[in-house]
Amino acid sequence: MATIKVPAISSMATIKVPATVPSPAEDCDQLRKAFQGWGTNERLIISILAHRTADQRRAIRATYAETYGEELLKSLEDEISGDFERAVLLWTLDPADRDAQLANEALRGWNPSNRVLIEIACTRNSSELFDVRRAYHLRYKRSLEEDVAKHTTGDFRKLLVPLVSSYRYEGIEVSGKLVKSEAKMLHEKITEKAYSHEELIRIITTRSKAQLIATINHYKNEYGKPINKDLKSDHKNEFLAALRAIIRCTFCPERYLEKVIRLAIKGVGTDENSLTRIISTRAEVDMKAIEAAYYKRNSVPLKQAIKGDTSGDYKAMLTALLGHDDA
C-alpha cells in the first residue's frame, strides 16, 4: 500500500493523524465504498476524514473529483444528513473556504448579537484573514467588506468593516508611547460613552495584537479596572457586547472560545451550530488550549461534556476531532 508521510501539525491540535496515511487515491476508494451498498458507512467516513490534515483533505477532494467526476462534498451531501453532515462538510472544506462560508451565513442571517465575524477576524492571524477574504471573493463574487457593509448598519458597520478589512502587524514589537496615549484615549471615550468614536474603533480594529494587549494591560493598571468592566455600563447594549468580544478574542482567544462552547451545551438543548463551528475550526489549531480552559472553568473534561450532550454519528465525529475514537 502506498503511504504518505504526515506533515507537522500544531502542537495544540487535537486531531490524531497516523504516522503514515494511505494515498489520496486509496482514501478516495474507501470513501467511495462507504457511499455504496445498503446504507452509508458513517464510521468509515469518520475514520478517514477526521484523521487527515487540511492539506491531505484537499488532496482527497481533488483526487475524488478527478477519479469519479463528482465533488466529494456533493457525494457527502447525498449520503449523510443533519448535524453530522454539517460537521463533516465544514471539516472537509479548506480552512479559508470554511471561514468564508461561516461569514456569509452570519451575514445572511445578520443580527447584532451574532459574533461569528468577530470570532473569525480576531482569532485568525493576518495572513489567514487575508485568505478568508480571498476565498470569500472567489466563492461569492463579492468582497467580504462589501457584504459586511450591505448587511450591517450604523455603529456595527463602522466597527465590522475595518475589523474584517484589517491586516494587523503580527510582530511582537510594542510602542510604549502609543500604549500610554491610546489607553488614555480609550478611557476618555469610554468615560464619555462615545463607544463608536472613530479613534476607539481605529485602535481596537487595526493595532497589532501585541500592541493592543499592552494597551489593555496599561488601561487596567492606570485606571484601576479592566477595560471590559468599563464596557459593561449597559448589559443589554449589543454594540458594547461586540466591543467586549473583540477584546476578549484578542486578549485570550481560548477563554472566549471556551465560553462559546460552554453556552452551546449549557442548559436545555444544544446549539449545534456553535459547537460544530468551534470544533471544526479549532481542532487543527488550538483545541488543546480550549479544552484546558474548559476544564479549568467547569471541572469537567470537554470530551465528557460533549459525549453527554450529543449522540450518534455527530457525537462520533466531534469526539474524533477531539482526538478520541471511543464515542
Bind-site residues: 35, 37, 39, 79, 265, 269, 309-310
Q: Is the dihedral of CA 106, 114, 121, 274 positive or negative?
A: negative
The dihedral formed by the CA atoms of 288, 289, 290 and 294, expressed in degrees to the nearest 10: 100
Residues 73/89, Cβ–Cβ less than 8 Å: yes
- Helix axis angle, 209-223 relative to 238-251, nearest 10°? 110
How many C-beta atoms lie closer than 10 Å to residue 250's C-beta?
21
The Cβ of residue 156 has, within 10 Å, a number of other Cβ atoms equal to 20
What's phi and psi for 4, nearest 5 deg?
-125, 135
Query: What residues are designated binding site for Ca(2+)?
Result: 35, 37, 39, 79, 265, 269, 309-310
User: Are the C-beta atoms of 319 and 326 separated by less than 8 Å?
Assistant: yes
- Indicate the length of the chain as a whole number: 327
- Residues 6+ positions from 118 with CB-CB distance below 8 Å: 160, 163, 242, 245, 246, 249
Q: How far apart are CA 58 and CA 80, in angstroms?
A: 20
Phi, psi of 322 (to 5 degrees): -85, 0
